[in-house]
Amino acid sequence: MAYGGGGFAISQPLAQELAKMQDRCIRRYPGLYGSDDRIQACMAELGVPLSKESGFHQYDVYGDLLGLLAAHPVAPLASLHHIDVVQPIFPGMSRARALQHLFKSVQLDSASIMQQSICYDNNRYWSISVSWGYVVQIWRGVVSPRELETPARTFLNWYRKADYTAYTFNTRPVTKHPCVKPFVFYMSTSKYDRARKQAIGVYTRRKSPSPYCRWKMASPERIDSVVVLKRPDTLRWLKSPRRDCCRVLPTNKASTMYLWVGNCRDGEISEFQRP
């Protein structure tokens, strides 16, 4: 269950029990505003506790949702709220057009939309985070999964005078170091390959000057697009929650990176391995 405009869900058995007593129950709480408060009060009378579902998003924030959505929790995306006051989730589009664009991936594998995968390019010392159907980010150097699964503060608090300590979840600062800034590739096109039974997503980087970096190592600036291959997994939420694994695939194209995303092999984890 979620609060506010983020929405909430109740099971059919609970709905049947609420139907028997709700008319009497809501009369006892005239001071409560909104259906969520009233339903919770009636659930309390039934003795049914709330279960937190992190896929319902209230999003009482302003600005860019990239940091939140790119580090989506291991939970099905159920709702997005306050989309009217944040920036479009895809740059260069209207808010409505951006949501329509997202649904191109939703139609291919709704259970996996925005699910995060983390892997490493061991040869080039890059860290990679995939928010499937939405965005791919590449960092120079090795960034731990613990840090990558924590939302970066690309957004502002709903209460303008509040700082990051007012959030109800952990966040991390947006780095100012030019060599540690991520290279961001947004989903451009997606399609389903019936022959190979896999979804193919192409993620492209917006053409903008990259800050100068003194590090003597391969730069993701040379990558123009990332191709992500994935087999739809409609049963993923009937299994124990776990992030998908991702792997860097070999390619002869210097400007394109190929990634595979899917169920982890036995013993597979997200770790950097020295070549």
Q: What is the pLDDT at residue 55?
A: 87
**How far does CA 41 lie from the centroid of its chain?**
31
The residues facing 202 across adjacent strands are 189, 227
Following DSSP, what letter does each residue of 44-58 receive, concatenated? Answer: HHHTPPP---TTEE-
Question: Do the Cβ atoms of 119 and 230 come closer than 8 Å?
Answer: no
Q: What is the pLDDT at residue 33?
A: 82
Angle at 151 between CA 147 and CA 154, to 5 degrees: 125
Question: Do the Cβ atoms of 53 and 1 come closer than 8 Å?
Answer: yes
Helix (H, G, I), strand (E, B) or coil at 166: helix
pLDDT by residue for the chain (275 residues), tens only, comes to: 444 567 788 999 999 999 999 999 999 999 998 888 899 999 999 999 988 888 888 767 888 999 999 999 999 998 888 888 889 999 999 999 999 999 999 999 999 999 999 999 999 999 999 999 999 999 999 999 999 999 999 988 887 777 777 777 889 999 999 999 999 999 999 999 999 999 999 999 988 888 899 999 999 999 999 999 999 998 999 999 999 999 999 999 999 999 999 999 999 999 999 87
Which domains are seen in the chain, by residue range? 4-46 (no CATH), 56-262 (2.70.130.10)
Q: What is the pLDDT at residue 3?
A: 46
Q: What is the pLDDT at residue 192?
A: 96
The token pair that represents 210 in the structure block: 């990259």
Q: What is the pLDDT at residue 5?
A: 64
